[in-house]
Chain A
Amino acid sequence: MLIIETHGLSKSFSKRGKKVEAVRGVDLSVEAGQIFGFLGPNGAGKTTTLRMLTTLLHPSGGNATIAGYDLIQAPKKVRDKIGYVSQTGGADPASTARENLVLQARLYGSNKASAMGRAAELLQSLELEAFADRRTSTYSGGQRRRLDLAMGMVHRPPVLFLDEPTSGLDPQSRARLWEEVRKLQQNGTTIFLTTHYLEEADALCDRLAIIDEGKIVTEGTPTELKRQVAGDVVTLGLEATNGALQRGEDLLRSQAFVREVNLDKNDLRLYVERGEEALPQILRLLDGAGLVIQTIALSRPTLDDVFLRQTGRSLRETAA
């Protein structure tokens, strides 16, 4: 079942008289129960898309259905069904975690008793109890982010939107938050998150869409994306005797399963469809031709390779 579906969703702003198209026609489909990642550099249109999907920003064009409700026609119904954790979070620094959670639950319609109960439950499960009655301005980054997450899930929404959930967190806090996100998924929540961390997209997401300059450039599972675009990389070291490298290169280039061969100093770099199937074939071929293999390495492409191929830029560079 599709729980989020968008068609031609777009947003343009006018900035000092100039029209800026932040999002240009985004089509997305998210299956219920998935963790869907929205990957792209800063300024690519991730947050703008998310803010449209969470009813905070009115789209300039296109439409979307979320949890069965039309985003444009029934934003109030959509609000009941979604939770949102913004990039900076939205807990009031002058109030305690418990006060923040109780108010948030009550704004979603809970009565006082059940709001108190739900807050206590979340404080416990996210290990915030010890400082639940302290003002949130005193929290560490990780504590703060767990509270933000709790704020988004206080009404048990079927869909949770997370904008850069682990941005700026230390590795432990990040791993901790990933755990929470996975736990939510196990309880049936669909999670739509944006990130510019490749590791995060890779580790957490069932499906990914890469957005650049307001457009989706590619979409699929992390494995599909990596395979579709870059293939696998095999690096071969051959014993360099009278033209062995050249012979090896020619031999491999003629094979259908090899997309591309580059001579890199004394190594051959092969781009192949499926590395695990290509390795035995390469071994057999070179052996048969009497070429001696000294080293062989298979590496997987990273999402950065995917991004590089699709946009011509490295995500690591643009994210910095």
Chain B
Amino acid sequence: MAGRGFVASFVASPKAMAGLLLVLAILAAALLSSLLAPFDPQLQSLADRLLPPFSQAGDGSFHLLGTDQLGRDLLSRLVYGARVSLLVGLGASLLAGLVGVLLGLAAGYLGGWVDDLVTRLADVQLALPYILLAIAMLAILGGSLVNIILVLSLAQWVTYTRVVRSGVLSIREREYVLAARALGIAPVMIMLRHILPNVLAPVIVIATFAVAQSIVAEAGLSFLGLGVPPSVPSWGGMLADARSYLVIAWWLAAIPGLAITVTVIGVNLLGDWLRDRFDPRLGV
């Protein structure tokens, strides 16, 4: 794990490097959007609407990725949209992961009433239709970025909890956990140091998929008018808008869709490497 050779093994892995490059590119787009975007993403020009990629507008300005149904520059919206999408994608899966993993650990290792409470909560969560919950929460709290992250985390923590709990149930019976107890290690340390690293592999896989799911789920919420305001560019929102123009302007859907795909691939590659790295037997 982290320690000797971490950087070396990272550089030596083309998978990790490719993943890092993709994620860094998206991150750069999100952080430097005001510098990278050629136009104001809100600037409308109805005369230049639905221009295909590589075309010139009436005033002579060049639109690399074309324009949308209101004549806004697609590249600028894409670059600004990375902010919302990355924040929501990473934020929701990290928050859900943190809460879900801790609850799963506690439920699996401590058992008893803690386990009962957590599994009951998870059952309740699974029984409630997610979209109903999202509508109710966002209607009450309002559709801000933080609230969207909260709502998405609420929908996702159960997956982590269930996977971690079942992993812990098998790991805690291993002899090395008994050995750790026989060495007088405190329960909290056993959970975090001895059990957690051994159940982390599936968690990383879930988290990488959750990033993609969150980006798309944000699109769904924005589509229903529950997400960020329509004027704020987000990949999900762009995808939702593009639906009506699919037949006449394919790039409106294809380009944000491609951006989501690239992000997901990047996160997955990084996650794959991280998962292998956590298993010393694979000798990565």
| Chain A bound to chain B | no
Q: Which residues of B come within 8 Å of A, CB atoms?
A: none
Binding site for B on A (CB under 8 A): none
